[in-house]
Structure 1
Amino acid sequence: MATTPVVQRSWSLVALAACVIALPCVYYWVVYPTVASARLLERARSQMEAHDYTLAAETLQSVLA
């Protein structure tokens, strides 16, 4: 069954809308937690270099929580 240009265009708009909706979700569920965890791990590493092991342990626990 052949589709008309109007149907093809509306499917294109649906696909575009799905991408626009999906991108913030991917950022919120994947990118943001990864970046936040990386920052906390970097903070824990610098605390360990400064020999502040108690604070480093608390930071690492917050990453795992």
Structure 2
Amino acid sequence: MERYQEIERSIITKYRKPLWKKFINGVNEYKLIQEGDKIAVCISGGKDSMLMAKLMQEVQRHGIMH
């Protein structure tokens, strides 16, 4: 398994619950994503933007749970 795949897997398995919960709570509280929205994600390469990209990828795969 490539290093990036290990990192991605650890985000999903180890950190998904605390990160995902805070992310989804913020999205829902501030109504940041609505049905039918098209979202562009810019990545600078920093840890914060890479994590945001991964969280948005999870939204794309699984949707937002209200």
Question: What band does the TM-score fall into relative to the shorter chain?
Answer: under 0.3
Which has a greater percent of helix? 1
Normalising by structure 2, report the TM-score: 0.27
Normalising by structure 1, report the TM-score: 0.28
Q: Which has the higher contact order (CA 8 A, sep 6+)?
A: 2
